[in-house]
Amino acid sequence: MKTSFVSLLSILFLAFSTKPSLGAPEPLLDSNGDKVVVGTEYYITSWVWGAGGGGLNLHAGRNATCPMDVIQEPWDTIRGLPLTFSPATTNQDNNIVYASTDVNIKFTAVPLSCNQPTVWKVDDYDETTGNWYITTNGVQGNAGPETLENWFKFERHEQTYGYKIVHCPSVCESCVKLCSDVGFYVGNDGVRRLGLSKTPFVLVFIKASSDGGDMLIKQKTPVMTITGSQVLHDPQSCTCLGTKEAKCNDPQVGNFLAANSPSSMFRCFLHALSNGARTLA
């Protein structure tokens, strides 16, 4: 029986990665295996390609008014709008964003329809749906009791080793606060709005400056490039070669190389997928 490609990714990562030591701060890593940097633009997209949906974007508020809600695009080919992250406190590596630390999340594009800040915040309780939605018009910085709703954390998702978003601010230890993962709810209009949820949205970071051209998946003989318009099937065996490529065998494509990728198998394939390659279930 064939193993699904997404499941294979999880297995590969578990086999070829190590967890950081307890108590040590863990830097967030993007799809290239690079540390996530403060102020640098990234796309946040679903860990699961295909049915997992696409990147994050802005959408008119539930009453078609401002502020705008944070949504997930329904298609994995749409990366959405880029975002930046600003920690509440500085650390010894001031330019690195760490897991489990309070950050502001901000879209860098300002929609013409709502000339308001695009910093995320948890909106007031929606009595109609019974949800706490993630919206914009938040306040950047000024960590304290007045800005609790503006702070989020990225944490490892235990089952997949992707990341999840958590709202449980630490900027005021004595304050009464909400603590919850962030997932999404599909409304009657079909829009996937982010909100506090028991089921987290599992994500990866893709650096916005990546143009997708640095990753080519090439068949070894004859030489050919598999682009985003074509499809990879279910690889049966994979081996990383050195530090920058992996060799795989696909029953329908044959032997191919994943070139110019990070050193582990997991990151090789994650990088390949994030730059346009897709798989059949």
The predicted-structure confidence for 208-250, as pLDDT tens digits, reads as follows 986 433 322 222 222 222 333 233 334 444 444 443 445 555 5
Terminal C-alpha separation, the chain = 12
* pLDDT surpasses 50 at 277: no
Q: How confident is the model at residue 154 (pLDDT cuts 50, 70, 90)?
A: very high
Output 41 or 214, whichever has higher pLDDT: 41
CA distance 44 to 82: 8
Q: Which long-range contacts (CB under 8 A, 24 or more apart) does 245-249 make?
A: 247/220
Domains of the chain, first to last: 31-207 (2.80.10.50), 217-279 (no CATH)
Q: Which residues pair with 207 in a beta bridge?
A: 42
How many other CB atoms are found less than 10 A from the CB of residue 239? 10
pLDDT at residue 16, as a whole number: 35
pLDDT at residue 249, as a whole number: 53
What residues contact 225, with CB distance under 8 A and at least 6 apart? Answer: 216, 217, 218
Residue pair 258/246 in contact by the 8 Å Cβ criterion: yes
* pLDDT surpasses 70 at 7: no
Look over the chain and give the mean of its residue pLDDT values, rounded to a whole number: 73
Output 211 or 197, whichever has higher pLDDT: 197
Residue 158 CA, chain-centre distance (Å), reads 15
Output 2 or 225, whichever has higher pLDDT: 2
Q: Which residues pair with 49 in a beta bridge?
A: none
Lowest mean pLDDT among 13-22, 85-94, 102-111: 13-22
Model pTM above 0.75: no
Task: Work out the average pLDDT over 101-112.
Answer: 89
8, 38, 42, 89, 238 from 19: Cα distances, Å: 19, 23, 24, 24, 22
> Which tokens hold the place of 171?
């900027």
* pLDDT surpasses 60 at 178: yes
Q: How confident is the model at residue 188 (pLDDT cuts 50, 70, 90)?
A: confident
pLDDT at residue 64, as a whole number: 81
> Which tokens hold the place of 73?
């695009």
Q: How confident is the model at residue 65 (pLDDT cuts 50, 70, 90)?
A: confident
* pLDDT surpasses 80 at 169: yes
What residues contact 280, with CB distance under 8 A and at least 6 apart? Answer: 5, 231, 232, 233, 234
